[in-house]
Amino acid sequence: MLEAESWMLNIKMKEKMKEEQINRVKLLIQRFREYMGMENFSQRTIGDYVNQLGFFIQYLQTTDIEEITQIDKELIHKYQMYLYSYQKKGKPLSLETQYARLVPVKSLFRFLVKRGYFLYDPTSQIELPKRKKNLPRGLMTKKEIFKILSQPDPDTILGLRDKAILELLYSTGIRNSELRNLSIYDLDTTHGELRINYGKGRKDRVIPLGEIASKYIEEYLNISRPLLLEQQKQKSQNLLFVSKRGKKIDQSNLIWLIKKYVKKANVHKHITPHSFRHTCATHMLRGKANLRHIQELLGHSSIATTQIYTQVELSDLKREHRRSHPREKQLDAES
């Protein structure tokens, strides 16, 4: 009887110990989350990382480890194999999903080693799945983008603001979050320059601001913005673009704004603020802009990221070759 009670007590102690260790992992993830916030990661990235780390916690709960220090290279390898073999509704996880779940784990342990919580990084030898580089979606033709740009009514308060936003997105290719965080002090419309503070990866950059975008931004600053701020008495607000309530525009507001004008322009494509970024880069490349210059404009840390737009050019070239080459025309005629 005593042996049975001792065995049961031992099981309960192990369960409690495991629960305590899982809670400790959750605490370390919370520290990691705070660190990402201090490093100016976007709220979207932070949320994605924390969500993906939730799957790692679920996996740890299925293992027999009793101490957090038992998380080693072998366990991480097993987690990667688990993701590879896992099936949802009879289908394996895509390489993109596997990648998305492994990257936050690697980032977490780099942080833990850096802060002294772990002596070594158990993820250091993990090779991430090679992701397929998809071509940018929502690319607009010149006709489509010009039609969308013509939709806002600059004779109205919000129409002038929206016109300035759309022109700025297409002129500079800046990101959704970069636009929403712009300060009035980041602009130099006289010299046609725009400063991006704390872009992706906390990188600052100064980029050219087109004349048309500068024109509408100046009009917005002189006419619409003071009226929007006056309605809410937010005169100390330094943000460049504000909502109709005089406050910061959030991500969903900007997405909705874009969709509204895309619909009015009768353009039947899935267009987001990021589509303006892709379209800006693609149109500049077609205009013979240097790839390095486009890299600087977009704030890409690697030229490899910018080179995706050359693939867009190649797909266009193939289509034009098929349409215009005499031999291809002959093939169509024979078929």
Distance CA 107, CA 102 (A): 9
Is position 175 annotated as part of the catalytic site? yes
Maximal C-alpha separation, the chain: 92
Given 180, 225, 277, 278, the catalytic residue = 277
Place of tokens 């600087």: 296
- Token pair of 5 as six digits: 């009670």
- Measured from the Cβ of residue 125, the count of other Cβ atoms closer than 10 Å reads 9
Nearest residue to 48 via CA among 104, 102, 96, 93: 104
Is position 200 annotated as part of the catalytic site? yes
CA dihedral for 52, 107, 173, 216, sign (positive or negative): positive
- Measured from the Cβ of residue 276, the count of other Cβ atoms closer than 10 Å reads 29
Nearest residue to 271 via CA among 282, 258, 284: 258
Is position 300 annotated as part of the catalytic site? yes
Segment (H or E) for 194: strand 193-196
SS3 state of residue 273: helix
Given 18, 200, 244, 247, the catalytic residue = 200
Q: At a CB cut-off of 8 Å and minimum separation 6, what does 54 contact?
A: none
Given 101, 161, 163, 175, the catalytic residue = 175
- Measured from the Cβ of residue 257, the count of other Cβ atoms closer than 10 Å reads 19
Distance CA 32, CA 29 (A): 5
Distance CA 5, CA 267 (A): 72
Question: Which residues are designated catalytic?
Answer: 175, 200, 274, 277, 300, 309
